[in-house]
Structure 1
């Protein structure tokens, strides 16, 4: 598959936490870094995502915000 998004990081799924309609998928991208994505439960099921699965994190955003107290 080819995508226009250039921010693609390969990793391994370390946790899938399902809620009522949405899952939080945690992906270890190496170096002790974890990226968390919030996707539908249907997407998790359709893609067969589970702990230990290989996955690619794709980040496509026009803004990146940071806030501090």
Structure 2
């Protein structure tokens, strides 16, 4: 299941972790993503913040049923 960080203001994708072994560090934390971009979205300039638990969305990918 991919982990995706997006800007709350413009929806721009800031980081996407798709699979184990993608990079040496593993899944980055919201604080790391914020520091990578200097605290601002590179697309709209909105200040990046660490999300609260209520702001985190979990969606499941539907699987195709073979039959």
What TM-score comes out, normalization by structure 1 length? 0.26
Q: Give the structure with higher Rg (CA).
A: 2
Q: Where is the helix percentage greater, Structure 1 or Structure 2? A: 2
Q: Which has the higher strand share?
A: 1
